[in-house]
Amino acid sequence: MKMEKRSFSMEEVVAYCNQYGFIFQGSEIYGGLANTWDYGPLGTRLKNQLKDEWRKFFIQQRENSYEVDADILMNPRVWEASGHLAGFSDPLLDCRECKTRHRADNLIQDYDTSVNADAMSEEEMMKFIRERQIPCPVCGKSNYTDIRQFNLMFETKRGVTDDRANTIYLRPENAQGEYVNYLNVMRSMRAKLPFSIGQIGKAFRNEITPKNFTFRTIEFEQMEFQTFCREGEDIELYEYFKEYGKSFFESLGLPADKLRFHDHDKLAHYAKAACDIEYLFPFGWGEINGTHNRTNFDLTRHQEYSGKSMEYYDDTAKEKFIPFIIESTYGLDRLVLALLFEGLHEEQISETDTRVVFNIKPALAPVKVNILPLIKKRHSVKAKEIQKMLSRYFMVQYDEAGSIGKRYRRGDAIGIPFAVTVDDDTLENNTVTVRDRDTMEQQRISTDDLSGTIADMLGM
């Protein structure tokens, strides 16, 4: 019989994440805080493994690549220099009837998906909304205020006095943490161009229309990679990092035919060229990476605002210049979401039976081995020995509750690639059965060097 598979809907993914400990609603016991999400034990594990993979791909396997961990709170002059205080805003309007607030570009895009609202000016957006009488998504009327620009940065206060001079910001992107440390990294690592600085960390944006679960939230994690280069090398590096980013996603199990490039017409204030890598979510194509040619905009501005020279001295050519930057940024929460949509299935396994299975790449599975004593009374001591031994190398789970079939299903549902069953043969001749999550086939394997065998099977 052919095993039919069905992917999950958004509602099913949200329910699954809550049921199995991947992602919970933020501050749930207080009724939540809109569009904040807390990662549970399995979601945290998945995220951490994605960070490790990113580090391998971007820091470990690349020459002249350095990681930093800069503070989220920065001197507010950083955000003046970067242009975020003046220009990092969304075009918002209010519905005069029901008093809800909306993003003008989203109203247009949701009304007519063939229109590129990104490329429209504020006036063009207003005209489009008024001429077509686009209805308010909440009350259905079409009576809006004019568009106003609303800065996306979260403000907070430093110290005890509540005046403007004490306002600081939660960073809206990681990038500035890499830029303000460019001189430090270059000096301490004796780095020569081209070199890269990467960073994994939280960013915050006061998005008023967060939506689609963890796709657009107000607090999220970015994995950012900034490559400092000579002007002239920038165009080739920009193209290179678009492809490198796509190959990173493919290496994690996102299929090439569900990934595409989206070149931007309208550019952020810092960019000369910009392209997103998009994944085909059930709600449509959504950005999971942004790659930008930021020219020498940021470093030039930091030189201007800080008074510190940002020049690089090329001692072969005997010349000084401010490097260009190619940035490639990966949204970690969106990547987790894409992997959940890609991997979660309900699979028909017989005429009458189905199972939930998370077909994630084994090396990324939150738990690698499910250790199951066939009969609790007879096999649990040996199974616990095996658990202890394997847990030195992998995240493992021990499960003795219920029938073996039920225990396999529970493991399949959270994507455990291998189930090790301990039975009488284990006691007699030190072999276990190892069941593969995807094929459900079993093989008998010696417990001598079981960890090595499993590491090989995981491709680690």
Residues lying near ligand GAP in the complex (CB under 6 A) = 173, 175, 205, 207, 216-217, 220, 222, 224, 287-290, 327, 329, 331, 333-334
Which is nearest to 58 in space by CA: 225, 200, 185?
225
Give min distance, CB of 34 to ligand GAP, in A: 13
Min dist. Cβ of residue 326 to ligand GAP (A): 12
Closest CA to 333 of 218, 176, 255: 218
- Whether the Cβ atoms of residue 230 and residue 323 lie closer than 8 Å to each other: yes
Residue 395: DSSP 8-state: -
Q: What number of CA atoms fall less than 13 Å from residue 283's CA on the CB side?
A: 15
- CB-based closest residue to ligand GAP: 331
In the complex, least distance from residue 277 CB atom to ligand GAP, rounded to whole angstroms: 8
Residue 216 or 361 with smaller CB distance to ligand GAP: 216
Nearest CB to ligand GAP, comparing residues 271 and 344: 271
* Sequence-ordered strand ranges (E) for 178-323: 195-204, 219-229, 259-263, 273-281, 284-293, 312-314, 319-321
- Nearest distance, CB of residue 170 and ligand GAP, angstroms: 13
Q: Using the minimum distance from each CB to ligand GAP, give the nearer residue, 66 or 408.
A: 66
Angle at 171 between CA 167 and CA 174, to 5 degrees: 155
Interior CA angle at 5 toward 414 and 398, to 5°? Answer: 20
Cβ 287 to ligand GAP shortest distance, Å: 4
Give the shortest CB-35-to-ligand GAP separation in angstroms: 9
Other Cβ atoms closer than 10 A to 137: 15
Neighbours of 131 (CB within 10 A): 8
Question: Could you tell me the smallest distance in angstroms from the CB atom of residue 331 to ligand GAP?
Answer: 2
457: buried, middle or exposed (CB in 10 Å: 19+, 13-18, 0-12)?
A: middle
Mark 37-61 as b/e (b = at least 16 C-beta within 10 Å): bebbebbebbbebbeebbbebbbee
Nearest approach in angstroms of CB 40 to ligand GAP is 18
Q: Cα separation of 120 and 130, whole Å?
A: 14
d(CA 73, CA 229): 27
Pick between residue 278 and residue 399 the one whose CB is nearest to ligand GAP: 278
Considering beta carbons, is residue 8 or 281 the nearer one to ligand GAP?
A: 281
Q: What are phi and psi of 368, to 5 degrees?
A: -95, -35
DSSP character at residue 287:
E
Kindly report whether the peptide bond that precedes residue 194 is cis, defined as omega within 30 degrees of 0. Answer: yes
Residue 438's Cβ-side half-sphere holds a number of Cα atoms within 13 Å equal to 10
Closest CB to ligand GAP among residues 6, 269: 269
Smallest distance from the beta carbon of 310 to ligand GAP, in angstroms?
Answer: 18
Question: Could you tell me the two tokens for 305?
Answer: 């605002």
